[in-house]
Structure 1
Amino acid sequence: MRSALHKSPIEDSKIFIAKELSDKHFDPVWHSHAEYQLFVTIRGTGTRFIGDSIKSFGNNELVLTGSNLPHLWRSDERYFDKESPLKINGIVVYMQENLLGDHLMEKEEMMQLKKLFKKSARGLEFYGESKQQVIKMLKELVQLSGLESLIHLLEILNLLAKTKEYHYISTTEYANPFKEDETARMNKVYEYALKNYRKKIHLNELADLLHMTPTSFSRYFSVTHNKGFSRFITELRVKHACKLLTETDQTISTISDKCGFKTLSNFNKLFKEIMLKKPSAYKKEFLNI
């Protein structure tokens, strides 16, 4: 899997980039870049990795990621099937913190925007009426050009800077860009984990893949992700279970088995530990919504 340290540099002739995405699947490469990124998944499902957070994603999710915050929207495996008719759609906006130049960004009128950028260091996911309004505005933004597009972007950022309808995504900030070898290593880890998390994962196989000892790999992963590899796999399994609980009529026992848990009691315990409620309560709450 190729690595991508700085995927979307903004041309010197542009203040920002806004573009529509339409493809078989979202880019499956874990990466970070200096630009701030505003991203909405118009259509598509999969697993989202932002900083140390793991979550299933679906249609119409709106996220702002800060500079150097590593992220990956990995489409479900069925999107990678060459015969599949499935397609993804999204809109992404890349911009620098000094969007209007260093001098102007230090002015009083820009303080709210600077606070928004600072908060995005941990990633922000928006919800409610604010989210719906911004998604509508983003669809309009990609149809505009010139000064009109900049004015429209500032209106979007103004709305996001004022709203309280958001929550943080990652528990920690990532101030520095990842080195190329780290990016390549973690892409191998994610690819292996996503293909094998439903069965027992042998740490030595993954360590061999990265030419490390199991002990060195465990230490490396913990430092890079702010959590142990075992916890990472458990969260991956639980988030997939959440998806099956809300999208299928499969029994909790079947879902437990499909997600790689040893026993139903172990599944119930770990699910409650991460989601703060039992699988049955999670499903009931979703159905009531």
Structure 2
Amino acid sequence: MQPLLIETNAVLQQSIFVKEVNVKNLNNPLHFHKEYEMVLMTKSNGRRIVGDSIENFTEGDLVIMGPNLPHVMYNDKEYYAPDSELEVSAIVTHFRLDWLRESFINSGEATKLNDLLRDINRGIKIYGKSHKRVVTILNELLLSTGLKRIIHLLNILDLLSETNEYECLSSLGYSNLHNHKDMQRINKIYDYIMNNFTENITLKDAAALANMTIASFCKYFKGRTQKTFTQFVNEVRIGHACKLLYDDHLSISQICFQSGFNNLTNFNRNFKEYTKLNPSDFKKSLRL
């Protein structure tokens, strides 16, 4: 397995590196790196983990992650089928800010920028009119070179520092406690969950996968994700259920079992805990 502290060599040679990605499916492991990363998902859907945040993503998803923040994206299962014709497209930008002089960073003009960068260290998802404006600038950045790339990046940071149309992803108290060995272990657990959450996942099997006792595994997992193993699995299942609720042909009962829950009572309770709505009301809200 490749080191999970990923060295983005292109960024070591230039302050900003941007590329279009076109692949059949997402297969990077959980990783982090020393640079900032901005990802615009132009074609794809699945689940995104950033720090201790678990969310669905769809076409148009736009996020920025700070340095050393663990993150990974998984496609839905159908993307990995041998005969799948689905594709993934994205614009990925890695950038450093060490070229900004300390005198500027500490100046009054940079107060809002510093506030923004503190939020980006937790990962942010951009929405609303700001999303549209950032996407426009990002496409210009993709086609530009040299100093113009820096100007476009500064325009994006300036725009975001003046808006509240973004939300932080990982929790305020989240910190990266992973070392390389941890990253390989937690990545194995994440893969196990994402590949099997619609089935009967057990704490015993997860602990065995990590080569740990159940008690040690529970403490380890909570310390690394800020969630219990059950909470984490249920968040993944509820995220999948939210996606299935867009399908008018599926009943609430069908969605319950297709999301990995073994009874409606447990499904309804967990769904309301995570979304503040019961499944029926959530489904009705999609029609408004």
Deviations 1:90-119 (A, max 9, x none): 112212243424344333333322221111
**1:148 and 1:88 mapped to 2: Cα distance?**
28
Give the length in aligned residue pairs.
288
Residue aligned with 2:121, SS? helix
Do 2:6 and 2:31's aligned partners in 1 also have CA atoms closer than 8 Å?
Answer: yes
1:161 counterpart residue number = 161
After superposition, residues 247-262 of structure 1 pair within 5 angstroms as: 247=247, 249-262=249-262
1:59 counterpart residue number = 59
**1:254 and 1:282 mapped to 2: Cα distance?**
15
After superposition, residues 213-252 of structure 1 pair within 5 angstroms as: 213-247=213-247, 249-252=249-252
1:206 counterpart residue number = 206
Residue aligned with 1:268, SS? helix
Do 1:99 and 1:105's aligned partners in 2 also have CA atoms closer than 8 Å?
Answer: no
Do 2:174 and 2:226's aligned partners in 1 also have CA atoms closer than 8 Å?
Answer: no
**1:263 and 1:18 mapped to 2: Cα distance?**
46
The one-letter code matched in structure 2 to 1:33 is H
**2:30 and 2:268 mapped to 1: Cα distance?**
30
After superposition, residues 115-134 of structure 1 pair within 5 angstroms as: 115-134=115-134
CA RMSD of aligned residues (A): 1.8
The TM-score normalised by the length of structure 1 is: 0.93
With over 3 angstroms needed to count, the CA separation of the structure-2 counterparts of 1:94 and 1:186, relative to structure 1, is same
Identity %: 35
With over 3 angstroms needed to count, the CA separation of the structure-2 counterparts of 1:247 and 1:158, relative to structure 1, is farther
Moved more, 150-159 or 105-114: 105-114
1:277 counterpart residue number = 277
Moved more, 4-13 or 34-43: 4-13
**2:63 and 2:156 mapped to 1: Cα distance?**
13
The one-letter code matched in structure 1 to 2:167 is H
Moved more, 52-61 or 109-118: 109-118
Unmatched 5+ stretches in structure 2: none
2:138 counterpart residue number = 138
**1:101 and 1:174 mapped to 2: Cα distance?**
28
Cα offset for 1:172?
3.5
The one-letter code matched in structure 2 to 1:106 is N
Cα offset for 1:202?
2.1
Do 2:70 and 2:176's aligned partners in 1 also have CA atoms closer than 8 Å?
Answer: no
Unmatched 5+ stretches in structure 1: none
Do 1:26 and 1:75's aligned partners in 2 also have CA atoms closer than 8 Å?
Answer: yes
Cα offset for 1:251?
0.6
With over 3 angstroms needed to count, the CA separation of the structure-2 counterparts of 1:239 and 1:176, relative to structure 1, is closer
Moved more, 272-281 or 171-180: 171-180
**2:78 and 2:134 mapped to 1: Cα distance?**
29
